[in-house]
Chains A and B, each alone.
Chain A
């Protein structure tokens, strides 16, 4: 059995038990949090498979760094978005529910990714762990927020469902790509990369508190 699957089982097992004990909003949050963990697990396989298949078949020649900048954001964001799209299409929830579900998936994804990263690279430096938590962790939450808020824009407008969903997914993917590009570099760019998610989170909070961004239900 592969190592990351073990981590997934450890994280998901108690949450799955909790799913049967809790009802309502919290149950939904935990359910989508588990789906976020699963999305992270799958993205590792899918991203790796596509990169190796594309390189082996000679479609593109991609180094690991190029794959991180070009391929990883696309794979991760698509897998993160799938449960949210499904939720919106099947359950037709309230606007606030969409954002909550998107954030749950994003946080689940970030949790799984950070846990795997720490298991692989160790936890000896507190600064490293803090940076990882506040940069990569928050970045996944921001991407999820972009997706969640974006979907509220096209809420209950069936005519724009496809184009709008694709557009929102593209925005989240690009933000992820920018972050990966910055943290793949060094020096000031790297620092800017670490600061980017927190600065964006602060901007989103200011916008959220200054006005009604959701619109009417």
Chain B
């Protein structure tokens, strides 16, 4: 029963990731190889490949890919793509932007702190410390830079919209992902399914939020 639910879940996620990858690639091509969309397409493509591996592992071997598998590597790759976007955006800051960002840096530290606490709880419940430490480090960096960018980006205007929507979506994606870690170790199957679907929808909203800005 759980396997069937998990498979349906995986198919929904696969579909959403595939659509997100195609949309991001299309935007990258239309915008003359815009680096932002190239990396976004890479992030979704990597996540899609990880999901595909996980689903095929479940279908072919009738077994979950436990321990550190190739699927985990692709999820890490996906976060690295998202982190690259954040690092690329902060790299474009001028000196005055850096001065403005100074007070926000302390506030942004709360995001990795929350992720660290969630991962400590997760390791306590589910074990596998090495695997989870890798995820924790990467997600912490991603959360820090994304929150910093979210705090720094204004609301934007109709002519000059900001990337605040996109950063908000990435933060929500990270929240959902971490909650899924925790829920999976507690064994709430239906709640996990709900969060998984929420994550898939978030990915599509992420592309939509980014497209608005680049289109403007």
Binding site for B on A (CB under 8 A): 60, 69-70, 73-74, 150, 153-154, 157, 159-160, 163-164, 166-171, 173-175, 177-178, 181-182, 185, 189, 207, 210-216
CB distance from B68 to the nearest CB of A (A): 8
**18 other A-B residue contacts (CB within 8 Å) besides A160-B88, A189-B59, A215-B38:** A70-B70, A153-B35, A153-B38, A159-B91, A163-B83, A167-B46, A167-B78, A170-B78, A171-B45, A173-B74, A174-B53, A177-B70, A181-B53, A181-B60, A207-B25, A211-B30, A215-B32, A216-B33
CB distance from A151 to the nearest CB of B (A): 11
Chain A residue nearest to B80 (CB atoms) is A167
B50 close to chain A: CB less than 8 A: yes
* In the complex with contacts A153-B39, A215-B33, A166-B25 CB distance below 8 A: no
Q: Is the CB of A157 within 8 A of B35?
A: yes
Q: Is the CB of A170 within 8 A of B80?
A: yes
Hey, which chain B residues are within 8 Å of A173, CB to CB? 70, 73-74
Count A-B contacts at CB 8 Å: 117
Hey, which chain A residues are within 8 Å of B74, CB to CB? 170-171, 173-174
Determine the main DSSP class of A at the interface with B.
Answer: helix
Complex CA distance for A190 and B154, rounded to whole angstroms: 52
B81 close to chain A: CB less than 8 A: yes
Complex CA distance for A210 and B34, rounded to whole angstroms: 15
Q: Is the CB of A174 within 8 A of B29?
A: no
B contact residues, total (Cβ < 8 Å): 39
Hey, which chain B residues are within 8 Å of A213, CB to CB? 28-29, 33, 38
Q: Is the CB of B60 within 8 A of A185?
A: yes
* In the complex with contacts A163-B87, A207-B25, A73-B70 CB distance below 8 A: yes
Hey, which chain A residues are within 8 Å of B110, CB to CB? none
B76 close to chain A: CB less than 8 A: yes
Hey, which chain A residues are within 8 Å of B165, CB to CB? none
Hey, which chain B residues are within 8 Å of A214, CB to CB? 33
Hey, which chain A residues are within 8 Å of B50, CB to CB? 174
B57 close to chain A: CB less than 8 A: yes
Q: Is the CB of B84 within 8 A of A154?
A: yes
